[in-house]
Chain A
Amino acid sequence: MKAASMTARRQNLVSCHNCHLLCDAPVPVGKQQVACCPRCGTTLHSRKPNSLMRTWALVFAAVILYLPANLLPITITRAIGITQSDTIISGVIYFLHSGMVPIALVIFIASVFVPLMKLLILIYLLISVQRRSRRRLVDRTRLYRLTELVGRWSMVDVYVVTILVALVKLGAVARVDAGPATPYFAGVVIITMFAAESFDPRLIWDVMEDDE
């Protein structure tokens, strides 16, 4: 693989994060020096700054929020005098029991499985980069692409709560209120999106260069 070594960084070039213009790497003068892309004005970095540390911090924050998001009730339903609190999981179980399997699957995948997988994948990528792993580079890049792509779909439950709150306000008959888990859950989705964004997949490949 002789092509593997021909990276932009090796050639002293920097690819703009935003418009992907190849620029000459800025010559570091002082710590404060900032170089911007001549085409779109984005600050130039060969790799995203402090990528590993930032991603770790965001992953930890998301893991902490993941607990209240799943343990506290996400909706509080009052219907004909009966008050019922539902967590995400109890909602899924309710749908399974009432035979609405597709809905149960949608909620389970979007709200439980995807955020959890995303956190696990990011932790795996962070550890494998730090251990300078050379295994399955292409697969790991694919995993990263996947986490970036599916993360936003976890927002579904937040929207379901919003719509239910808006619609179910039928006087004494029924009403739905957003439970205390809702903001935590929105936090998990947003923070994991930021975490995926702050991870630089080029770090996965940097070991290849260092080999030579």
Chain B
Amino acid sequence: MSELMACHECDLLTRLPELPPGGRAHCPRCGCLLQRDRPNSIEKTLALSFAGLVLFIVAVSFPFLAMKAGGFEQHSNLLTGVWLLLEQKMVLLAMVVLLTCVLFPLAGILGLLYVLLPLHFGRRLPRAEVVFRLVSHLQPWSMMEVFMLGILVSLVKLGHLAEVIPGISLWAFAVLIFVLAAQTAVLDHHQVWERLEALR
């Protein structure tokens, strides 16, 4: 029974084949990716989550960018923009940026650690299912890589106006994007659900 699956894009019932290492199974009708073999998924995701957490702390606590022009110097960190939007009474917008660039990515990293660390030792913390479900729901709403593109566009935009000095946090942030991308690529939801089910 466990090998029978319904495609989540066209509802076709398919019997999943035994996947070779690194193999993928696609829906024969609509071509949707059904399953991918991801060896050591939980351990790799855990390692990347830890790396992500460290980089995240660096990215939030150190100076992000500085700008110099006409004797003035303006420093900013990741949250300066949010504060200044709040000052301009753009509360909703500030919330959107705060949630999508800081809180959701952080919640994603912490949530995965909460679920996967015990799972690695064959345990399951209370409400692990709820946490993992939330993590999957938050995933499209965590937009750090889009923010990074925003930074690049801003840098070019400001290039003629002033001198822009990148801070440590900017580099941490850039690496974090790759770590988070690798984390999503490596995480095998199917395997996590099966392990969680077996531990109940």
Interface residues in chain A, defined as those with a beta carbon under 8 Å from any beta carbon in chain B: 3-4, 6-9, 11, 13, 15, 17-22, 39-42, 79, 100, 103, 106-107, 110, 137-138, 141-142, 144-145, 148, 152-153, 155-160, 162-171, 173-174, 177-178, 182-183, 186, 190, 193, 197, 201-202, 204-206
Contact partner of A201 (CB less than 8 A), chosen from B10, B67, B150, is: B10
Distance in Å: Cβ of B184 to nearest Cβ of chain A? 12
B156–A100 touching, CB < 8 Å: yes
* Residue B5 interfacial (CB < 8 Å): yes
Knowing A40-B129, A138-B31, A167-B74, the reply to whether A160 touches B153 (Cβ < 8 A) is yes
Which of A107, A168, A204, A205 is within 8 Å of B161, CB to CB?
Answer: A168
Kindly state the separation between the CA atoms of A141 and B97 in the bound complex, as whole angstroms.
31
Q: Closest residue to B100 on the A side, CB-wise?
A: A155
**Which of A4, A11, A79, A183 contacts B93 (CB under 8 A)?**
A183
A156 in contact with B149 given A162-B85, A168-B74, A205-B11 (CB within 8 Å): yes
Question: B29–A22 contact, CB under 8 A?
Answer: no
Shortest Cβ distance from A149 into B: residue? B140
Among the 9-residue stretches B37-45, B54-62, B76-84, the one with 4 or more Cβ atoms under 8 Å from chain A is B76-84
Instruction: Establish whether residues A106 and B197, one from each chain, have CB atoms under 8 Å apart when the complex forms.
Output: no
Closest Cβ of chain B to A101, distance in Å, is 11
Q: Which of B105-113, B130-138, B174-182 contacts A (4 or more CB under 8 A)?
A: B130-138
Contact A167–B67 (Cβ < 8 Å) = yes
| Contact indicator B193/A7 (Cβ below 8 Å) | no
Chain A residue at smallest Cβ distance from B192: A19
What distance in Å separates the Cβ of B71 from its nearest Cβ neighbour in chain A? 8
Q: Which residues of B contact A (CB under 8 A)?
A: 1, 4-13, 28-32, 65, 67, 69-70, 72, 74, 76, 80-82, 84-85, 88, 90, 92-93, 96-97, 100-101, 129-130, 132-133, 136-137, 140-141, 143, 146-147, 149-151, 153-154, 156-158, 161-162, 164, 189-190, 193, 196-197
Partner of B6, one of A7, A153, A201: A7
- Say whether B193 contacts A21, CB under 8 Å: yes
Q: Which of A6, A110, A163 contacts B154 (CB 8 A)?
A: A163
B9 lies within 8 A of A201 (CB): yes
* Distance (whole angstroms) from the CB of B5 to the closest CB of chain A: 6
In the bound assembly, the distance between CA atoms of A148 and B9 in angstroms comes to 12
Q: How far is the CA of A155 from the CA of B148 in the complex (A)?
A: 11
Contact residue among B72, B137, B153, B162 (Cβ-Cβ distance under 8 Å from A103): B153
Cα distance, A103 to B129, chains bound together (Å): 43
Which A residues touch B10, using CB under 8 A?
A: 7, 137, 141, 201-202, 204-205
Q: Which of B8, B141, B162 contacts A170 (CB 8 A)?
A: B162
Minimal beta-carbon separation of A1 from chain B (angstroms)? 8
CB <8 Å contact, B90 and A183: yes
**Smallest beta-carbon distance B8→chain A, Å:** 6
> Which B residue's beta carbon lies closest to that of A107?
B153
A19, A41, A165: the one within 8 Å of B84 (CB):
A165
Would you give the shortest CB distance from A37 to chain B, in whole angstroms? 9
Q: Is the CB of B9 within 8 A of A155?
A: no
A169 near B74 with CB under 8 A, answer: yes
Note all chain A residues with C-beta closer than 8 A to B93: 158, 162, 178, 182-183, 186
Minimal Cβ-Cβ distance residue in B for A154: B146
Q: Across the two chains, which residue of chain B brings its CB closest to A140?
A: B30
Determine whether the beta carbon of A173 is less than 8 Å from that of B72.
Answer: yes
A147 vs chain B, min Cβ distance (A): 12
A158 touches B129 (CB 8 A): no
A42 to B146, CA, bound (A): 29
Chain A residues whose CB sits within 8 angstroms of the CB of B8 once the complex forms? 15, 17, 20, 202
Which residue among B67, B70, B154 has the maximum number of chain A CB atoms within 10 Å of its CB? Answer: B154
Q: 16 A-B pairs, CB-CB below 8 angstroms?
A: A3-B12, A6-B13, A19-B190, A20-B5, A103-B157, A137-B10, A158-B93, A158-B96, A159-B147, A160-B157, A166-B81, A167-B67, A170-B72, A170-B74, A186-B93, A201-B9
